[in-house]
Amino acid sequence: MKRLLKQIPLYATIILFATNFKCSATTNNEISRWLNTKYFNSMRLSKQFFKKTNNLAEIKKDLFDNYKDKKTVRILSFDGGGTRGYLQCKFLDCLYKQIGISDDLISGDEKNKISKNKLFMNEVFDLVAGTSVGGMNAIGIANGITPTNMMRFYREKAPWIFTTRGVVDCFSNNASYPSNKPNLAKKIAMVGSSNPLYKSTNEFSNYGDARLKQELSNMFGDKLLTSIKTPVLLTGYNYSGLHPVAFTNSAFSPVTVTIRNVKIVDALMATAAAPIYFPSYQVHASNNTETEPDSIVDGGLFQNNPSVLAFAQARKLFPSAEKFCLLSLGTGIKDVGEHKTAINAKQSEIAVNKYLNLLNISMYCGVMANDMILRTLAEIMPDFFYYRFNFRLAQDNDFSIDTSTPEIFNYFDHEVVKEYKKDMYAITRFIHKAFGG
């Protein structure tokens, strides 16, 4: 019974958050009546979360009274996974709705007009880490880009990044259609010739890796990684030197070879240079521009789930912290290889499919290992709290990391909301630990 009573504040928090999440139009008076019911008044509810008030904004303010207290360090980590990175943005969108972090657009002079009572994700988390597309999400959050705008990026830009030229484009440097993925026969030919699937004809092409760099340049220009105030950590693999690398703006990195003096665009192109899909990216890994650049490829070959690295970096950067809270976001559990729709697939097609799935096996095993390590640490370390959002995707859809159709993004929207609500208790418990003091 005593244990049940201790959990009452948490259960009550879940109900409050679920109400706010389910229907944003819920009035302040309705919440006030709920808070003043005889049942809840009879309990010793947590002062951190509840006050008798007619103002919902006050309730949310109470929740974040201690968010600037560096005794608690909050870490946000993103896995790699191509267009499935959309899942992470949708999760954060749900989180915004649940705890009331502002989703306003931040740009130019508008920053000076923002109310002091509003919080933004780049202000809430003390360290953000990411691999591949997760690195893009991490940098986006660290720069104050909202989940809504990042999801718009996936829907509008990804179809032109993950597309190839068709027959009508033989004499053009551009692609005519979005989401024109190579068929299996073409993938076999391109993989056999060591030619990346989405390598553009030239730097001005409207598709593939050139389009990706153009869009990132439009967002970040020539800004350096060190211009970001929030500590960030991105992973990569030096294909020239055969060793892992990290991109960070912090004084400390858990990775031996660390690159700091680099443009944001270059760091993102490097961490997202997935073999088979994109060409390697040239970066001066030695931080010396006078030397020959190194070929950097996708950080997923090193750590597709950078959560352990992020935790290690946070422990070093904040040695006096009393509590560490790590939110780790996956990109769904599903084969990376070609969707098995061909009933009469040729032996060569089956072989290529197995080859592509080897990438999935190697990455997923590493992802699972890090998750197991962190779950164990959370059990034995009283100052460490951990939550990971990652769920199994349906087996009857094409969830290849280069699928970018509107239907797939709509499916992601639906599934994330469903899984979020299903795991509301665990999510709210993490929020309680991370922001409740």
In this prediction, residue 165 carries a pLDDT of: 87
pLDDT digits (tens, 9 = 90+) for 98-152: 876 655 543 334 444 334 445 566 678 999 999 999 999 999 999 989 999 999 9
The CA distance from 128 to 310, in Å, is 7
- pTM metric for this prediction: 0.80
In this prediction, residue 107 carries a pLDDT of: 38
Closest CA to 332 of 301, 363, 354, 307: 363
Structure tokens at 272: 């997202």
In this prediction, residue 367 carries a pLDDT of: 84
The CA distance from 394 to 403, in Å, is 14
Question: In sequence order, what E strands does 225-293 have?
Answer: 232-238, 243-248, 258-259, 281-283
Run of H or E including 298: strand 294-298
In this prediction, residue 24 carries a pLDDT of: 38
Residue 376, classed as helix, strand or coil, is helix
In this prediction, residue 251 carries a pLDDT of: 87
pLDDT in tens, the chain (437 residues): 444 444 444 444 444 444 444 433 333 343 333 333 332 332 233 333 333 333 444 444 544 454 555 689 999 999 999 999 999 999 999 998 887 665 554 333 444 433 444 556 667 899 999 999 999 999 999 998 999 999 999 999 999 999 988 888 888 898 888 988 887 667 767 766 678 889 988 999 999 999 999 999 999 999 999 999 999 999 999 988 888 999 999 988 999 889 998 999 999 999 999 988 999 999 876 655 567 788 899 988 889 999 999 999 999 999 999 999 999 999 998 754 444 444 445 555 555 566 656 666 666 777 888 999 999 999 999 999 999 999 988 866 778 889 999 999 999 999 999 999 999 999 999 988 887 75
Q: What are phi and psi of 13, to 5 degrees?
A: -60, -40
The CA distance from 217 to 215, in Å, is 5
The CA distance from 404 to 263, in Å, is 27
DSSP characters over 170-202? TT-SS-SSTT-PPPHHHHHHHHHTT--TT--SS
In this prediction, residue 364 carries a pLDDT of: 72
Residue 49, classed as helix, strand or coil, is coil
- Count CB neighbours of 262 within 10 A: 21
In this prediction, residue 65 carries a pLDDT of: 52
In this prediction, residue 49 carries a pLDDT of: 38
**Percentage helix, strand, coil, to 5, in the chain?**
50, 10, 40
Instruction: Kindly tell me the sign of the dihedral angle through the C-alpha atoms of 419, 423, 428, 430.
Output: negative
Count Cα atoms within 13 angstroms, Cβ side, for 132: 29
